[in-house]
Amino acid sequence: MVQLLSINSFAQDSYIVSVTDVKSRKVQIKAQLFPNNDTIQMSPFGANHLKDGWANFVTHIGAKNKLKQEISIQSIGGGAYVFSPYKKGEEIYLDYTINLIHDKGKWPFGYKEAAYVRENMMVLTGNAIFITRLDMNSATVNFILPKRYLITNAWKEVGINKFKVHNPTELVWTVMTIGEYNFTDIITGGTKIKLVYSNSLSRKKKMISSIITSAVKEYENIYMGKPVNSSTQSKKFVCVVNVDSGYVGGGAVFTNSISIMLNKSPSLEHKANTRSWHHILIHEIGHLWNGQSLKTEQQNEWFVEGFTDYMAYKVEYKLKLFDTTEWIAMLKLKQEEYNKAYKGISIKKAGNDKAGNYDLIYSGGLLFAQLIDRQIQINTENKKNINDFLQLLYSEFALSYKLYVLNDIIVAFKNTCLCETNNIFEYLVTSKKIELP
Ligand SMILES: [Zn+2]
């Protein structure tokens, strides 16, 4: 059979990422790209506080054409580059170095969402290292590393230290680790998580992995199913955990991967506290369902963050990480935090500025989740609760890779409590202040 496919149908971007020594903080990248115009770029998100965005950390960049002749490449700000001369349909060869010093500067959400070095371990997001193009639909990434080095990421493995991604988001919106470190596989129910941490946290391995295992079991019961990976990727999740006493503590969820930075090393602690290590872990693991599996096509931070936080506390309560008195005190504290932050806008609107309205989104969203939970319980005479509502959303949207909108949440609520919404959703569209009864 004659195949009449043009060369470009096979054109697949490829990257070779080399690290010879983690402590040198240098990542060498060679790329072969098939751009459709003269512009290539790093992720436009996450480094907006820097004039050149993620390109702030790129050095020694050079470009060559198909004939391996040098061509010019210019940074034009915001992480974008223009090269010339450009000939349509021709590949270009890029060569650059990432100076991995992201953790030496200030980041709005902490350097755990950029890149850092801990002991002999490099933690990096795709954002921090890849120059790509928005219309890329497939790329391979090959790592060249010393034999003793590990590489861990959430991509589909297609060879030794060789991976495949299917769009620019998979390439950049992810967290990975390179170097000498420790890991453990957590397999529970239908969920597979690779827990990765620096060697100094090894003594806490049991403590961390048993919390994650118990939480995953609880979440699988709540949603009646495992977290859904993006359809084109491998069936595993990666969770990176490290400690920095100079950071308040927190986590972030990327595609199939989580980056967590605790304020202090895990220890036995039974407390309902936003900053406690188990709350941070359980909250982020919860995002594998609400955030990773259940995805919205709108801005619904009140639901993504507020409901995840509420469910995390419910899971912790179930795991006896705190008692009823503390549950009540926690709700009271959340009401106070919300009251203090309240400025006459709805919790939905507050999500337009996530960094500026943290307490409105997290504490306000949590109070709203509690109202929803109560309402369902009252109307169904305790036959149903918030779990049934989340199950409905999960089975209708997450399992069929469909994005939800606000109205889908309202419908799922109505169908769970078999009631009218009793003006409860007014809190989202008007500036009405949430008060717990
Ligand atoms: Zn969150």
CATH number for the region 294-437 comes to 1.10.390.10
Between the CA of 305 and the centroid of ligand 1 the distance, in Å, is: 5
Between the CA of 24 and the centroid of ligand 1 the distance, in Å, is: 33
Between the CA of 428 and the centroid of ligand 1 the distance, in Å, is: 19
pLDDT of residue 231: 62
Nearest in space to 223 (alpha carbons), one of 282, 286, 165: 286
Domain 7-97+129-165 and domain 294-437 have a common topology: no
Between the CA of 10 and the centroid of ligand 1 the distance, in Å, is: 39
Give the Cα separation of 179 and 102 in Å (integer).
17
pLDDT of residue 6: 42
Between the CA of 58 and the centroid of ligand 1 the distance, in Å, is: 30
pLDDT of residue 306: 97
CB distance 223 to 232 below 8 Å: no
pLDDT of residue 351: 95
Between the CA of 111 and the centroid of ligand 1 the distance, in Å, is: 16
Nearest in space to 346 (alpha carbons), one of 288, 303, 294, 291: 303
Between the CA of 23 and the centroid of ligand 1 the distance, in Å, is: 31
Between the CA of 252 and the centroid of ligand 1 the distance, in Å, is: 7
Q: Which residue reads 């399992």 in tokens?
A: 399
Between the CA of 5 and the centroid of ligand 1 the distance, in Å, is: 45
pLDDT of residue 75: 94
> pTM of the entire structure?
0.93
CB distance 180 to 166 below 8 Å: no
pLDDT of residue 229: 82
Between the CA of 304 and the centroid of ligand 1 the distance, in Å, is: 7
Between the CA of 49 and the centroid of ligand 1 the distance, in Å, is: 21
Between the CA of 277 and the centroid of ligand 1 the distance, in Å, is: 14
Between the CA of 283 and the centroid of ligand 1 the distance, in Å, is: 6
Tokens of 353: 């500025």
Q: Which residue reads 């390179």 in tokens?
A: 178
Between the CA of 290 and the centroid of ligand 1 the distance, in Å, is: 9
DSSP 304: I
Between the CA of 253 and the centroid of ligand 1 the distance, in Å, is: 8
Q: Which CATH architecture has domain 7-97+129-165?
A: Sandwich (2.60)
Domain ranges of the chain: 7-97+129-165, 294-437
Give the Cα separation of 105 and 78 in Å (integer).
17
pLDDT of residue 138: 92
Between the CA of 372 and the centroid of ligand 1 the distance, in Å, is: 19
Between the CA of 57 and the centroid of ligand 1 the distance, in Å, is: 27
Q: In what order do the strands lie in the sheet with 250-254?
A: 182-188, 191-197, 237-243, 257-262, 250-254
Between the CA of 330 and the centroid of ligand 1 the distance, in Å, is: 17
Between the CA of 172 and the centroid of ligand 1 the distance, in Å, is: 19
From the first residue on, what is the mean pLDDT of each consecutive set of 10 residues in the chain (437 residues)?
Answer: 45 95 98 94 94 96 95 95 90 97 94 97 98 93 98 95 94 97 92 94 94 96 91 82 94 94 89 88 96 94 97 97 95 96 93 92 96 94 97 96 95 91 81 85
* Residue positions counted in the chain: 437
Q: How far apart are the two ends of the chain, measured CA to CA in Å?
A: 73
Between the CA of 260 and the centroid of ligand 1 the distance, in Å, is: 11
Between the CA of 88 and the centroid of ligand 1 the distance, in Å, is: 43
Between the CA of 285 and the centroid of ligand 1 the distance, in Å, is: 9
Pairing outcome for strands 115-118 and 121-125: antiparallel
Give the Cα separation of 15 and 119 in Å (integer).
26
Phi, psi of 239 (to 5 degrees): -130, 115
Tokens of 331: 């709700």
pLDDT of residue 430: 83
Give the Cα separation of 132 and 36 in Å (integer).
12
Between the CA of 299 and the centroid of ligand 1 the distance, in Å, is: 14
pLDDT of residue 236: 86
Between the CA of 421 and the centroid of ligand 1 the distance, in Å, is: 26
